[in-house]
Amino acid sequence: MVTRLKDGIKGAFRIGQTMSVLGRIGFNWVRGDRPPAPRLLRQTFESLGATYIKLGQFIASSPTFFPKEYVEEFQGCLDSTPSLPYRVIRKIIEEELGRPVEEVFTDIDPVALASASIAQVHVARLINGEEVVIKVQKPGVRNILLTDLNFLYVSARILETLAPKLSWTSLSDIVDEIQRTMMEECDFIKEADNLEVFRQFLHNTHNTDATVPKVYEQCSSRRILVMERFYGVPLTDLDSIRGYTNNPEGTLITAMNTWFSSLTQCDFFHADVHAGNLMVLRDGRVGFIDFGIVGRIAPDTWQAVNDFIQTVMVGNFDGMADAMIRIGVTRHTVEASLLANDLRTLYSKMDQMVPDTVAYTADRAEDDVNHLLMDMVKVGESHGLHFPREFALLLKQFLYFDRYVHILAPEMDMFMDDRLKMLH
């Protein structure tokens, strides 16, 4: 009863904080401070803290759900936050361990290695001498997320009731999906399980060229995760990668084939393969880290995605339209021939996407692919199609890998190279 009362008080206080921030922004709006709506929303989210920053990152990675201008604006949503003082982190670790830190660790670096909205990471050394990293959930995060997301869910349902036309956008379903995803991120036991499942997948597929950090379960819990420390560099750091392997292109192929295989041979796929979560280790192996966000795709949906990729490779627009219809959700019949014609028009832009100039950079290429993806989604939605969240997650990872190809293997064709086992 006392715990529930405390949570209720904290929840009411959090709603008060939210309303205060919104009131201040509204006051500035009245005074004439009126940036474009996407920028204003991003700035508002950053002011509101953890939940809304994560929500902004969700928007940035979901071109199938949100308008193009919002997806692009939220690419700049803060991906890191100020770290908490070590004394706060130490207290959390001791609460979770149920004993002083000195009984488990000989040393913990008081300066955070990284800090995000939900957790921060510190380097430490176990009593047995092994160097590890400790991922520590920030205090009150779970309660803040639940309060904020419940508030957003109720608001979405009210909007759908007042404006029935909005019900097709499924705002409340989107908030519900975000809540499920964020709550999973707050459960480090679940993340530890994900790491073990992926390790078993690598073992079962006889993949010795990729790895995941070992988890020290005896000193991990729902709020702290102690893992083997990896030494390496991000997959985008070509100069450093050359110090670990004489074949950066082969290393990239290993990373991509490992991920592609997980789509059909693992219980889930890693749904956040940005450069910080893919490392080239000192021994040349590829290290996959941070399994807080994973995706699961139904076999029939993956078959449709497979078919879509194959039809893109050969320029079969009727096939593209058919696959998109099978991937998407709609309330009425979609005219496949009309969708195919619109895709044919869009596809003509693809031939002009990569000009033959030295000045064409990887960043520019990534921007063009992003724009093309968003345009394809827009074409599908113009025909009444709405795409599931898992499809958005899949496409986002393809975009990450497209960027890595431009950096590490610019001559490689991601869809035609026989070394890439993309299709099964």
The CA distance from 14 to 100, in Å, is 32
- Tokens 């050394």 sit on residue: 125
Q: What burial class does residue 197 get, using C-beta atoms within 10 Å of its C-beta: 0-12 exposed, 13-18 middle, 19+ buried?
A: middle
The CA distance from 395 to 269, in Å, is 12
For residue 215, what is the DSSP state? B
Is the Cβ–Cβ distance between 216 and 134 less than 8 Å? no
* 268: its two tokens: 């889930």
Provide the residue count of the chain: 424
User: Which one is catalytic: 148, 237, 272, 342?
Assistant: 272
The CA distance from 276 to 278, in Å, is 6
Q: Which of 118, 31, 56, 55 is nearest to 81 (CA)?
A: 118
Is the Cβ–Cβ distance between 134 and 122 less than 8 Å? yes
CA distances from 45 to 22, 49, 70, 73, 151 (A): 10, 7, 12, 12, 14
Q: Are strands 269-270 and 232-234 parallel, antiparallel or unpaired?
A: unpaired
Query: Is 272 an active-site residue?
Result: yes
Q: Which of 103, 53, 98, 99 is nearest to 78 (CA)?
A: 53
3-state secondary structure of 80: coil
The CA distance from 376 to 346, in Å, is 7
Q: Which of 73, 72, 76, 60 is nearest to 371 (CA)?
A: 72
Which residues belong to the active site?
272
